Structure 1
Amino acid sequence: MLKRLAAIVIAGGLLATAARADEVKIKFTLGWKTQGSDAAFFYAKDKGYFKDEGLDVVIDQGEGSGATVTRIMSGAYDAGFGDVNAIIQNASAKPDEAPVMVYMMWNRPPFAVVSKTASGIAGPKDLEGRTLGGAQGTPTTRLLTVFARTNGLDMEKIKLSNMAPNLQEPMLIKGDIDAALVFNITSYFNLVLNRQDPDKDFKWLTFGDYGLDLYSNGVMVSRKLLASNPKAVAGLVRAINKATIAIAKDQNAGMAAVVNFDNLVNEPVEKRRLQYSFDKLIISPEMKEIGIGDVKDDRMARAIGIVVEGYQLARAPKPEEIFSRQFLPPRTERDLVYVAN
């Protein structure tokens, strides 16, 4: 009897091992360190959504949403969460190497100019005669010239001070600069952590509200994975979509997955960041029309034009080089209902 039980246990173990061997391993890079806005990826892993799709997804922290693209192009990662505008930049010169976005999460761009309310900067024109702090190489800084042209600003009347990203909010608070060129989802919470009230005491000029109607972060995959295993790509997208829909209704469950991945996060702050991502970046009239994950081709074409101008690219990639909707679940499965809780 004992021998029979042992045989059953061994056989079961072999079957489990075989099942794991059949899974497709995907190395996935986040856009930055662990944040609440990444909850969907952790939730999909914890709930077994990836496993249900036959995937073994290994999630690593990132080095920046633009770095997601270069990490994938290097072959170190198969997929990740990052900035579509960095895809445009790289696809201009290396169309056969740049990854492809397959699930657009942030329908609205995080690029913004933030200033103290007391400074009197109420609109773009008020930036003339001011000193702006920008981190060299970031999209917000590189696209400033397009923002200026679109809003009739004279760049000769704007002083740009280059600085490390971690100095922007402290220098803004101290009054060393009049405004900072930032990602709102990062800067907002840097101000919170500096004991500031980013809603009451600061003014936000978001590029998307002033003529630069760009898309932003989403899930991208390598061209190698697209060609070798499109089934795995479709499964990855289905799992992340299912998780995103779920945490839109239950942020506490999303945060439990975040903490399970990294128990050192500041849970109250990161929950606010998760909710902020829905409020400010994910939900929009367009998203409600076409569903989470998709884009409009004409808007993508315009966004490509903005990036080509701002980055002074030699070639404008076509929208289909940048984004593919062929792996999206049906429209009926991409209705997102956000309930803050």
Structure 2
Amino acid sequence: MRAIRILAISLSLALALGAAADAAQKVRLHTDWKMEVSGDIPPFFLGVEKGYYKAEGLDVEILDGTGSGDAVRVMSAGSYEFGFADFGSLLAGRIQGAKVKAVMGLLQQGGGAFLYMKDSGIQTFKDLKGKTIAMSPGGSEDASIRAVMAKNGLSMEDVKWTYMPGMGKVFAVLGGTAHATGTLWNKMVPLMEVKSGKKVGYFSFADLGVNILHKGVFVNTDYLAKNGDTVRRFNRATQRAWMEAQKNPEAAVDSFLKSFPKQAKDKPMFMEVMKLSLKMIGTENTKGKPLGWMSEKDWASSQRVLVDYTPGMKGKALPAGEFFTNDYVPGVQQAGMAK
């Protein structure tokens, strides 16, 4: 009789646990690019594989994107629960009325840079004078480039600009039709070196005095107002996953490649992108704070670059608090924290 009672209790517990697992809240993370070539997202896959999100009662689906600007648009429309994209695009979108807010900063050091082939003869920033540079029109990258030129002794007229979207500008450098390109050093240096078999150099915009916050998690403001606990749980699992990736980047990359086995041959490249990306976590203003915490100074300076160097944005600056909140970052205790 006792054995039957124990068995019944065990079955009840198993059913209860199964029901709890079945009841996991489904949420989607909309990324900024085609995932199979995005080397800065493996920690999210690590969090899924390790069960960090499941432990928070979340069933997370990670989705492709088509650019940060598009990610901001669909998140503003309330199409997804969470986004991971360029904060420069979030700044621009919010100034123009997008209903989005950053809730966790991850890659906070700006990733923008001028990339060039090391055998091109370019050695210093001033060597770009008279050269052809490929770039994408508009957005935070365009504003960063204008600011870098102005702050470092070159005018926009000192170089020849060729405008093209996405990967086109990278292949312009690889193909020899451009001397340099404005893009992300953490992602594109490893890719260009693999594609060309040559060394790639870069001039970091941050090193040249221009730093626009790079990437993190953001949400729709209406969703945030109604789902604060979900955001807090998602951030808690995300922080855990990224901290684990810092200790073991290979585990993160391996988790990622399980979803994209055809990319396994490029594991060394993804490893390099992951290691470079992890160096971008935090800024001078976030030292001593929990992973994911964001500085008002960083948001204010990022907005200043965007507003000052984007045509038509003069006088449109918003209070920095309009763009972000630390209330949902694990380890942060603040008065008036949203529930």
TM-score by length of 1: 0.85
State the match for 2:41 in structure 1: 38
Give yes or no for contact 1:136–1:163 (8 Å, CA) kept in 2. Answer: yes
Matched, 1:183 2:181: no
Aligned mates of 2:221, 2:88 — CA distance in 1: 17
Stretches of 4+ moved more than 6 A in 1? 3-10
Give yes or no for contact 1:88–1:317 (8 Å, CA) kept in 2. Answer: no
Matched length = 325
Which residue identity lines up with residue 70 of structure 1 in the other structure? R
Quote how far apart the aligned CAs of 1:160 are. Answer: 0.6
Point out where structure 1 has 5 or more consecutive residues left out of the alignment: 333-341
State the match for 1:148 in structure 2: 149
State the match for 1:239 in structure 2: 237
Matched, 1:74 2:77: yes
Quote how far apart the aligned CAs of 1:4 are. Answer: 10
State the match for 2:204 in structure 1: 206
Equivalent positions of 1:157-172 (< 5 A) are: 157-172=158-173
Give yes or no for contact 1:44–1:239 (8 Å, CA) kept in 2. Answer: yes
Which residue identity lines up with residue 299 of structure 2 in the other structure? M
State the match for 2:27 in structure 1: 26
Quote how far apart the aligned CAs of 1:116 are. Answer: 2.7
Quote how far apart the aligned CAs of 1:261 are. Answer: 2.5
Aligned mates of 1:174, 1:69 — CA distance in 2: 32
Give yes or no for contact 2:144–2:205 (8 Å, CA) kept in 1. Answer: no
Equivalent positions of 1:16-165 (< 5 A) are: 16=17, 18-20=19-21, 22-34=23-35, 35-94=38-97, 97-137=98-138, 139-165=140-166
Give yes or no for contact 1:37–1:277 (8 Å, CA) kept in 2. Answer: yes
Give yes or no for contact 2:52–2:237 (8 Å, CA) kept in 1. Answer: yes
Give yes or no for contact 1:225–1:233 (8 Å, CA) kept in 2. Answer: no
Which residue identity lines up with residue 326 of structure 1 in the other structure? D
Aligned mates of 1:272, 1:331 — CA distance in 2: 31
In structure 2, the CA distance between the partners of 1:252 and 1:128, relative to structure 1 (3 Å rule), is closer
Q: Percent identity?
A: 24
Aligned mates of 1:145, 1:115 — CA distance in 2: 18
Aligned mates of 1:247, 1:190 — CA distance in 2: 21
Quote how far apart the aligned CAs of 1:86 are. Answer: 0.9
Quote how far apart the aligned CAs of 1:106 are. Answer: 1.0
Aligned mates of 2:106, 2:19 — CA distance in 1: 34
Quote how far apart the aligned CAs of 1:58 are. Answer: 1.5
1:63-101 per-position Cα deviation (integer Å, ceiling 9, x unaligned)? 22333212211222110211111111011121xx43111
In structure 2, the CA distance between the partners of 1:9 and 1:292, relative to structure 1 (3 Å rule), is closer
Equivalent positions of 1:306-325 (< 5 A) are: 306-312=305-311, 313=313, 315-325=316-326
What is the alpha-carbon root mean square deviation over aligned residues? 2.7
